[in-house]
Every structure is written in C-alpha cells, then in structure tokens.
Amino acid sequence: MLSYRHSFHAGNFADLLKHSIYIHCLEYMTQKPKCLRIIDTHSGAGIYSLNSTEARKNSEHLGGIKKILDCTALPAIFETYRQQVLQFNHQDQSIYPGSPALAMSFLRPIDQLFTHELHPADFRLLQNLMRSEKNIKVHHEDGMKSLLSLVPPPDKRALVLIDPSYEVKQDYHTVVEQLLKAHKRFSTGTYLLWYPVVSRARIDEMERIFKKSGVRNIQLFELAITADAHEAGMTSSGIIAINPPWTLWKAMEEALPFAVDLLSKSALNNEPTGFYRLEQLVEE
C-alpha cells in the first residue's frame, strides 16, 4: 500500500525483534566465504530520524530501541543489535537503521543485496542511500512480485527478509503463498517472514498453512507487549523462520524472556503484561 511509511514506527518493539534476528542471521551467514544473496522485499526508506515529525507522532521508539540503548546488560543478540544501531549514531542517538542499512553493514564485495520499495518518496530515499554501492540493486516495486525471479541464486546461498505492511488483509495469504513458491524453487535458503498480531486468527491460519506445506525446519519467535486484543492495534509481532542458523534458537531462548520483562512492565504493579512464543513449528 502506498499509504504505509515505516518512519512512523521506526525503532518500535517489533523492529527490536525483527532486526535483532535479521542481524544474527546476517552475521552468521556472512562468516562463510561463499557469496550471499540478500533479498529485502519491503525495504522502506532504509534509514530513519527518530527526531522526525513522523517518528515523534507516536514516539514508538521509546518502547523499543530507546529501552535497549539505555540498558547496561543485555542478552548477546540484543547487545549485537544495540551495537549495530550505535554505529549509525553520534551523541544524540537519533538515527535508526532499517533493514537495508543493516544489511549494508555486513555486505562484502562478493555479496549481493536486492532491495524493493513501492512508496515513491521512500523509494527515492532508499535509492539515494544505496546509489554508490555497485552490488546493491534498488527496485521500485513490491518485492514479493520479483522474489521468484531472484531464487535460486547462482551460489545457492540466500537470506530473504519478507516484511510487508499487512495493510491489505489479503497480504497474510499472499506472502505465505509466494514464500512457499520461492521455497519450492529454492528449498535451502533462509527465509524470515515478519508478521504483526492484530487478529490472532490470521496468524493461526498462517501457521496451519506452514505446518501442512511439507516445508521442514520452521521456527517461530514472537514478542508481545500485552495480551491479544482483537483488531485493537498491534499487540505482538513475530518472525517465522525457515532454515534459520542453528545458533538462533539458543539466542532467542535467552532474549525473549528478557524482552518481555523489559518492554511490557505494567505501570500499576511492575509486572509484565506481555508474553513470548518460542516454537518449532516443523522439525528439520
């Protein structure tokens, strides 16, 4: 949808989960000497100012990255995330890197990054951010439409981040359908599908489809700041990961309970109002 701009939500609790997992996968997969193809299907502007009018409208970053930056002791996966964000900042910590900027931090000369953005203003910002990098392609389109043309990559190694806005309810079905088609073409790639929990029924349906798909090695990581509340805004978000690094599960076992405690404390009794999910949806 052309109305969605991530600048209103940059650095929120959902970004904390999504980007810490993404960074972990980038770090792990770029350790091997072979070329890695990184595909970002919904890239946004690439980098954001937390002092912008959009970011300050709801100040969602105060319940996400701000709390991480203020912590002195963090689980390893969040500390790595924190350090990556700090690399883009000076004293005021007002810059938040989106997924394209984070991928650039790990990109080696042998790697390729394919970014996609449909919103015209954000596309121009993304294009400007990436213009000097020869191994980065910036496409003015919905990345789900070009995903099938990008897999399998020549070196048979790819990390795919799928992060739509879900403003159109059909997106919940479309992204799963396209991801499964991509997996059929390239079954050994690592796929990260982000989802918001606005209606739990839609997420339950996504999970049922994956469980029946025949795809192996699917893990789910979800972080909630409050209990489910039907159509009352995003209360949780999660990542469905196919073929994730073997190190990710242990990292999230430590990180998710910490995040619930850090991000969802009630002002009334100082008790967490949220919860987390750490599930192996389908075995290897």
Q: Which two tokens stand for residue 180?
A: 């499964």
pLDDT at 10: 93
Q: Which CATH number, 3.40.50.150, 3.30.750.24, 3.40.50.620, 3.40.50.300, labels domain 6-282?
A: 3.40.50.150
Q: Is residue 2 over pLDDT 60? A: no
pLDDT at 267: 56
The C-alpha atoms of residue 26 and residue 36 are separated, in whole angstroms, by: 9
The C-alpha atoms of residue 190 and residue 259 are separated, in whole angstroms, by: 24
The C-alpha atoms of residue 250 and residue 252 are separated, in whole angstroms, by: 5
Percent of the chain scoring above 90 in pLDDT: 87
Residue 80's alpha-carbon distances to 73, 83, 84, 105, 261, in angstroms, are 12, 5, 6, 12, 19
Nearest alpha-carbon partner for 160 in 185, 132, 124: 185
Q: Which two tokens stand for residue 63?
A: 């319940």
Mean pLDDT of the chain: 94
Kindly report the CA angle at 217 between 178 and 191, in degrees rounded to 5? Answer: 40
pLDDT at 7: 87
pLDDT at 244: 98
Q: What is the pLDDT of residues 70-107, one digit of tens each?
A: 998 999 999 999 999 999 998 789 999 999 999 999 99
Tell me the backbone φ, ψ of residue 142, rounded to 5 degrees: -75, 120
**Does 163 participate in catalysis according to the annotation?**
yes
Residue 277's alpha-carbon distances to 19, 117, 281, in angstroms, are 17, 30, 11
Q: Is residue 266 over pLDDT 70? A: no
- Which residues are CB-contacts of 27 (< 8 A; sequence separation ≥ 6)? 80, 106
Q: What is the pLDDT of residues 16-62, one digit of tens each?
A: 999 999 999 999 999 999 999 999 999 999 999 999 999 999 999 99
Residue 171's alpha-carbon distances to 25, 99, 162, in angstroms, are 24, 20, 11
Question: Which pLDDT band, with edges at 50, 70 and 90, does 271 fall under?
Answer: confident
pLDDT at 4: 77
Q: Is residue 161 over pLDDT 60? A: yes
Q: Which two tokens stand for residue 163?
A: 């992060």
Domains of the chain: which residue ranges? 6-282
Q: Is residue 6 over pLDDT 90? A: no
Catalytic residue, from 163, 171, 204, 261: name it: 163
pLDDT at 232: 73
Helix axes 143-150, 171-185, angle to 10 degrees: 10
Q: What is the pLDDT of residues 188-199, one digit of tens each?
A: 999 999 999 999
Q: What is the pLDDT of residues 129-142, one digit of tens each?
A: 998 788 999 999 99
pTM of the model: 0.96
Q: Is residue 148 over pLDDT 80? A: yes
